[in-house]
Structure 1
């Protein structure tokens, strides 16, 4: 959830580090810092707050040197402060470290190091690493890092410099993402590809338990045990403009408007030319194995978990297989019953979510086949899963996920249909009909986006309130959970989502005059029941915005405002109905003057448990 950048080459490193960290701001952070090897030795500058504060400090007193490391921190140990910011050093200031992740045994290591004479100045677990490396250094920084890492438990990506060997930058990866960029006479490290894309498109993606030694002359890859590794370079073919706002005021709005393209790209060649079948060669399950699946577990966090709730509905209805959906941080601790007949689906936008990775590993330990749905090729989740469906949403910069979420829905539709056609639980005609409706989704989303000003008006009205409720039934409930989360994430308005039928079991006590309620009434089979629930809140003075399919004029009689979405197959409606909810949260945040793309206290990629 933090950002790492490193550089070694012939150019001055300070500017490269700062620009690289700017490309990683989407990951969320509360402080920033750099360490550069200068003619005076290792010099560290760091500051609490936005990167602009550090940049301003460096303009007043620039660092000159051609090797350095930089970091944006999101607090896990110790409050945000200048002292707790990275990079961290040992007492001699001869060793400097940047770190993403958590060192679980840092307190024991800290006590040992204090007993040996180390003096700690921060509250972080990371400072332990700098002291530990210094304590075992005997003239070879690579061996010192290897010794230190073997004593550390947890998740970490490291960038390490020492004044004793100023030509080397050492990088290590264990359960936290790190990539190596290879240039001509210069090399880079980064938490994510955008950090270095301006300088090189050739990268090595480190696997767990691997490290790299970077110099001007080249890169050596090896295991933590010291065994050298030979690997082909991965060439990145992203268009760099995909990481820019493209004329939109915010990345989030740009990404909301990119959803039609993300839908088309994710469906892509996975629908055959005739539009009659789903083709998923990336799913490494034979027809016989699919027929042997007795239950499915969907495991994810946050927005991805909400996509999983939709996926549960999709798979159960289409394939008639029982599905459980779990929050990843709770999954292992309830001792789930996982057998070789269980299919575990893990969902992660970044592919690096720590809790989801832990669930994946537990599922594999128990013998289950693991299918990953992720947006990042080469991520930990993608590499460790048995099968992977990549969502071709492209880079998502805003912290609040939009196009990654809806692309996950498309992936679930594809997989649900794939299971159904393999198991014969749906007729060919039914499958063909759903596929035809799926192909219409991008254009239907475009028609919703063309009416964004309507949603803006509702958002500006609702933003005047401190509390708000979302209600829905069936698959609509899964969608309002995501709508409520989006609103909380970026507008900071307190909101709750409830199954509409549960209102009378306590929640109605919270409804009072003027309180906004957003009600989804999309599912035809539940429409009358949902209207009854809407009347319950209206009778208590709620200001209701109803969202319904086109052609249904009944809802208007029971609500204050109506927004219609194009009509489609019931299972596919989440891919449409969530779009006005995304816009609602965006415009509410805008009306309140908040930082839409970088909401407080949140990070894009959560790589600690």
Structure 2
């Protein structure tokens, strides 16, 4: 959950590294640091806080080097302090390391190193790695590459590493297991860029090598990349060319990335829908769908594994697939699934959902499922991600780069893909008749313009949000397919405004939450489902009877629930199965405006990071 960037070549490293850190700051923003190597001097500068705080402590004289690594941290082992910030020196200060991940057996190794006379300056697991590398190098009198290999054979856990040594000043060693790491190839392969993802280096190169687990690469100025496994066996690698618009990684005219990404949704949803929809007819397709169709037709059930916002999209997928294709679906928290010895059979399909394609718990759930012989299918937003490479099938969401930590456009793109998957499965399984399928696809084609229309209510939403700056808690209610949207709305409010919020199925309100309702606890009710409309109205009456304040999300033209509510958010009327995409828009904007008016950093909420690559 940290960000790594590195450079070796003929350019000045410092500007590349600092700008790279700014673009990676969404991955962690507790502290930042940089290591620069030149003239047999390995200098490390670190600072608590943002990248801007780091810039202040790096002297202008340190802008000459052409080799360096940098890191922005989300704290795991040890508080956010300068000592715990990366990069970390070895005991002799000959080696420096940056690390993303968690070393699970670090205490055992640390005790061994302490007994050997090593001293530690931090509380981190990362400092154990760099001292272990130094120990292996000295004991065996071996090269830096071999020392890294020997050290990594002993560690358990996840890592993306970049290693420098002033004893070998023309090299950088990088390695990966469980945490993403990309190598960018510069001019004539004579310079190399290293990063946790493509965002910080795409300005310089779009030709990337993505390391696989247990792979180590030697980057030496002016020489071809060498990739081996941690035992020294040479590995083949592919160079992937990516197309990434630099406008996607800047805020443009918007105050925050989150707001920009909310307003990008007419385009991102359109990109997702029309990338999987035939221009000539109403046929939905995914890459490799013909083979996937065979697997889907044989599936006893689909198990969806995901975390956070992606888990909410998975819940929506459950409603869609069971309604349209009549295939049993189970939605699991990936973090729980991987540890409870679940029953997975060969005729199951395990569908993993992740914005980054690198979520550690979701990857672990996938790998377990593959070991059990299940077919694996990923819905993710990042081409070339670990999940995309390891799954049998992948459907991309085409939402583009999402910088804001609280997911918005990636969520609606996931829901769009799951909607099309459910329709395609229903048709393939002869459950969904042609007229119903065509009607849904026709409405789906119009969703982007309806999202645009919904966004035009932004100012009205901002005005309503202003009324809730001082509340301590919020209850979100929804029924049917809108229950997951209630969960999603509550999560967004918690994530970025730090107001406690709880999403609940409206039918369960009388089984506990109603005890909390009074004039101090507002309730947001999603009331767009026609099938449950009368029941939702009854829920609203129960809230009003206890003097609760109601914010209602209703269809345009609604009269009954709108009249009962204190505040009303409206969305265009669409088929119930398509409502979650539209309802998400006002809920995300509502949370955004409350957070901004409370003075919160909506792009970088406290204690959170964008890509959860550790447990």
The answer, yes or no, to whether TM exceeds 0.5 is: yes
Q: 1:306 matched to which residue of 2? A: 312
1:515 shift after superposition: 2.8
1:434-473 mapped onto 2 (5 Å cutoff):
434-473=440-479
- Aligned partner of 2:605 in structure 1 is 599
2:291 is the alignment partner of 1:285: yes
From 189, 196, 215, give the equivalent of 1:191: 196
- Structure 1 residues 551-560 or 433-442, which shifts more? 551-560
C-alpha offsets along residues 48-84 of structure 1, whole Å, 9 cap, x if unaligned?
1111111111146635421111111111111110000
1:165 Cα shift? 0.3
Match of 2:45 in 1: 45
Deviations 1:325-362 (A, max 9, x none): 11110012232221011111000000000000000001
Q: Which is further off, 271-280 or 49-58?
A: 271-280
| 2:209 alignment partner in structure 1 | 204
Q: Which residue of 1 aligns with 2:154?
A: 151
Alignment of 1:347 onto 2:353: yes
CA apart distance, 1:401: 0.3
The DSSP-based 3-state class of the residue aligned with 2:577 is helix
Task: Give the Cα separation in 1 of the matches to 2:257 and 2:14.
Answer: 26
Select 2:164's aligned residue among 158, 161, 165: 161
How far apart are residue 227 of structure 1 and its match?
Answer: 2.5
Which deviations, in whole Å up to 9, do the C-alpha atoms of 1:94-147 show, x marking residues without a partner?
011100001111111111111111111211100011110001112411111111
The Cα offsets for residues 154-196 of structure 1, whole Å up to 9 and x where unpaired, read as 1100000111101100000111100001112321111011111
CA distance in 1 between partners of 2:214 and 2:290 (Å): 26
Tell me the equivalent position of 1:536: 542
Partner of 1:128: 128
Residues 21-74 of structure 1: CA deviation (Å, up to 9, x unaligned): 111012122011111113351111111111111111114663542111111111
Provide the residue aligned with 1:91 in structure 2. 91
CA distance in 2, matches of 1:604, 1:59: 30
2:407 aligns to what?
A: 401
Distance 1:534 1:274 in 2: 45
Q: Are 2:509 and 1:503 equivalent residues in the alignment? A: yes
Distance (whole Å) between structure 1 residues aligned to residue 144 and residue 382 of structure 2: 32
Cα drift, residue 232 of structure 1: 3.8
What is the aligned counterpart of 2:591 among 564, 579, 585?
A: 585
Q: Which moved more, 1:311-320 or 1:19-28?
A: 19-28
Q: Do the aligned partners of 1:282 and 1:389 also contact (CA within 8 Å) in 2?
A: no
Shift in Å, 1:451: 1.3
1:329 aligns with 2:335: yes
User: Cα gap change, 1:256/1:305 in structure 2, threshold over 3 Å: closer, same or farther?
Assistant: same
2:484 matches 1:478: yes
Query: What's the secondary structure of 1:305's corresponding residue?
Result: helix
2: distance between equivalents of 1:538 and 1:47? 52
- SS at the partner of 1:359? helix
**1:75 match: secondary structure:** coil
TM-score (norm 2): 0.97
Contact 1:28 1:399 in 2 (8 A): no
Q: 1:197-236, aligned counterparts within 5 Å?
A: 197-218=202-223, 219-236=225-242
Q: Give, in whole Å, the separation in 2 of the partners of 1:206 and 1:516.
A: 49
CA distance in 2: counterparts of 1:570 and 1:118, whole angstroms: 64
Mapped partners of 2:447, 2:598: distance in 1: 31
CA distance in structure 2 between the aligned counterparts of 1:288 and 1:148, rounded to whole angstroms: 45
Structure 1 portions without partners, runs of 5+: none
Change (3 A) 1:286 1:374: closer
Give the corresponding residue for 2:79: 79
Residues in 2 aligned to 1:199 and 1:543: alpha-carbon distance in whole angstroms: 53
The count of corresponding residues between Structure 1 and Structure 2 is 609
SS in 2 for 1:411: helix
Which digits, 9 at most, give the CA deviation of each residue in 1:502-561, with x for residues without a partner? Answer: 122221121111432111011111010011011111111111111111232121232112
Change (3 A) 1:603 1:284: farther
User: Conserved in 2, the CA contact under 8 Å of 1:277 and 1:421?
Assistant: no
For 1:262 and 1:601, locate their aligned partners in 2 and report how far apart those are by CA, in whole Å.
Answer: 28
Provide the secondary structure at the position in 2 that maps to 1:172.
strand
Q: Report if the CA contact (8 A) 1:515-1:541 is conserved.
A: no
Q: Distance in 2 between matches of 1:232 and 1:240?
A: 24
Task: Give the counterpart of 2:390 among 381, 384, 393.
Answer: 384
- State the 1:224 CA deviation: 2.0
Match of 1:5 in 2: 5
1:222·1:229 contact (CA, 8 Å) conserved in 2?
Answer: yes
For the residues of structure 1 that align with 2:111 and 2:292, how far apart are their CA atoms? 53
Q: Is the counterpart of residue 367 in structure 1 residue 373 in structure 2? A: yes
Structure 2 CA distance for aligned equivalents of residues 200 and 269 of structure 1: 26
Pick aligned residue for 2:521 from 515, 518, 538: 515
* Higher alpha-carbon deviation: 296-305 or 465-474: 465-474
User: Residues 181-221 of structure 1: CA distance to partner in whole angstroms, max 9, x if unpaired?
Assistant: 11123211110111111222221111112121112203222
Divergent runs of 4+, >4 A = none
Q: Which deviates more, 521-530 or 273-282?
A: 273-282
Quick check: 145-154 or 555-564, which moved more? 555-564
TM-score, normalisation: structure 1: 0.98
